[in-house]
Chain A
Amino acid sequence: EVQLVQSGAEVKKPGESLKISCKGSGYSFTSYWIGWVRQMPGKGLEWMGIIYPGDSDTRYSPSFQGQVTISADKSISTAYLQWSSLKASDTAMYYCARMPLDTYYMDVWGKGTTVTVSS
């Protein structure tokens, strides 16, 4: 079964750093891109960026460039999303999703990681 398993919920304070993960299984991890999507409470979906685990080619939405870092470790089939200094406005659900190499719809999604940033 193809799965993306995301790390558990996080509660952090403003200014703290955080790295959440997304582990792929049931398919060749380097045969697909991995994308990240933000959903703020009660709001819609926002595309954040993508990474190709084969060579770590990474692309960001202009809205998220410089705000987050996307990385991957293909040896353990895991992609990451990290923040160096969280803000309250980073409170959201974060989803990872798989995308075919030559066309970029998101065909398999993780269940999401809730990030809460509060003092």
Chain B
Amino acid sequence: EIVMTQSPATLSVSPGERATLSCRASQSVSSNLAWYQQKPGQAPRLLIYGASTRATGIPARFSGSGSGTEFTLTISSLQSEDFAVYYCQQYNNWPPSWTFGQGTKVEIK
């Protein structure tokens, strides 16, 4: 099983600042990596797929980068609505044994 490790577990950021979240895979997943945002009491929402492609309707302040085993989600200028938990997920293998990271909580500093 591919293990996805996110860091940090919690990120304290002031509104307007930049946030950088990391996701590391235990083996290469190519660019088959997605990022999701989950707010309390809500379902997850797709932000990024293919490691760097923004999903429909996602603001340009969200960007993804990386390939292989190292990935980054950057939120360029945090808005109040961006405080949430962020998960990465690899979908590289077939038959599927896809895995999520444990999540990074972005909280208000």
On A, residues with C-beta under 8 Å from B are 37, 44-47, 50, 59, 61-62, 95, 97, 103-112
Contacts and interface: CB of A to CB of B under 8 A. Distances in A.
A59 B95 contact: yes
Interface in B83-109: 87, 89, 91, 95-103
B34 interface: yes
Contacts of A44: 87, 100-103
B81 interface: no
Interface of B: 1, 32, 34, 36, 38, 42-46, 49-50, 55, 87, 89, 91, 95-103
Given A47-B99, A50-B96, A62-B1, A107 B49 contact: yes
A42 to B, nearest CB: 11
A103 B1 CA distance: 19
B96 A59 contact: yes
A46 B96 contact: no
Given A61-B97, A103-B91, 12 more contacts: A44-B100, A47-B99, A47-B100, A50-B96, A97-B44, A104-B32, A104-B91, A105-B89, A107-B55, A109-B45, A110-B43, A112-B43
A47 B71 CA distance: 20
